[in-house]
Amino acid sequence: MPRIGGITQAGRGGTDCPRCPRIHLRTGETAADSRILMASLLAEGLNLGLTRMAEACSIASLGQLAWTSDWHIRDETYATALKCLVDQQEREPFAATFGRSDVSSSDGQFFQAAGFGRDAGRLNAHYGLRSGFKVYTHLSGRYGPYFTKLIAATASEALHVLDALVYQQDDVTIRRRRHTDGGGDSDHVFALCALLGFQFAPRIPDLRRRRIYSFAKPTSRIGRFFEIQTQ
């Protein structure tokens, strides 16, 4: 059986982004020893901790692992590395089997956290009386989670629909159509998507009571939509 470190090294070598997530926070240089970097990543990914990882491996001390983790591993380098992996996935011909590359979707998932939920900002009655947070994930049409973001349990998901479309587009394709559930539906998102050249296709809750506007002249397709709305 191959070692996990060898698998992660092979995966990093197969992408076109060899610098991520190894960029130093202050100098911008890459990590001197990629093995120590991979050990630090595994310690965090497996919830093992740097102390136990230092005891389990022989390539680095606790000080080396801690230094590498502090200077090279952070949210923006994780996001860059994830973007590189999805870019490589989109380049593979077999990826077309799973769907279109110009379509994406996003949704929030609630996770419970410890505590009594005394802070109202952490408690959403829709998910029960336990405090927690939401992870808002942007998924490509080929099932690649190319951007994730932690948001408050009570935050509106519509505020974060455009984050990945504007700031985290990959280098292979531009995702022009965005699908969301009712939580991402908002008149403001419709307007901003139209201004930025995106197509917004959410699942609209309570459609019969919504006031619908059109940015263009009425057409047969828009007329058909109003017929569906009044049924």
> Each residue of 82-130: pLDDT tens digit?
888 888 888 888 988 988 888 889 999 988 876 655 555 566 666 777 7
pLDDT of residue 180: 93
pLDDT of residue 215: 66
d(CA 42, CA 22): 14
CB 108 within 8 A of CB 135: yes
For range 70-86, the mean pLDDT: 82
Mean of all residue pLDDT scores within the chain: 78
Q: At what angle are helices 34-45 and 4-13 packed, to 10 degrees?
A: 110
Q: Which of 164, 165, 108 is nearest to 136 (CA)?
A: 108
Spatial strand order of the sheet with 145-152 comes to 145-152, 132-140, 103-112, 177-180, 199-202
Q: Which helix or strand (DSSP H or E) is residue 150 part of? A: strand 145-152
pLDDT digits (tens, 9 = 90+) for 49-70: 899 999 988 888 999 999 888 8
In this predicted structure, the answer to whether residue 18 has a pLDDT above a threshold of 60 is no
CB 123 within 8 A of CB 129: yes
d(CA 77, CA 44): 14
Indicate the residue type of 154. T
What is the band of 1 on the pLDDT scale with cuts at 50, 70, 90? very low
SS3 103: strand
Is residue 117 left, alpha or beta, with left meaning phi > 0 and alpha meaning psi from -120 to 50?
Answer: left
CATH, domain range 97-230: 3.30.420
- Residue 23 structure tokens: 């960029």
- Residue 220 structure tokens: 């047969």
What are the residue ranges spanned by the domains of the chain? 4-73, 97-230
The residue among 213 and 148 whose pLDDT is bigger is 148
pLDDT of residue 8: 52
What is the band of 19 on the pLDDT scale with cuts at 50, 70, 90? very low
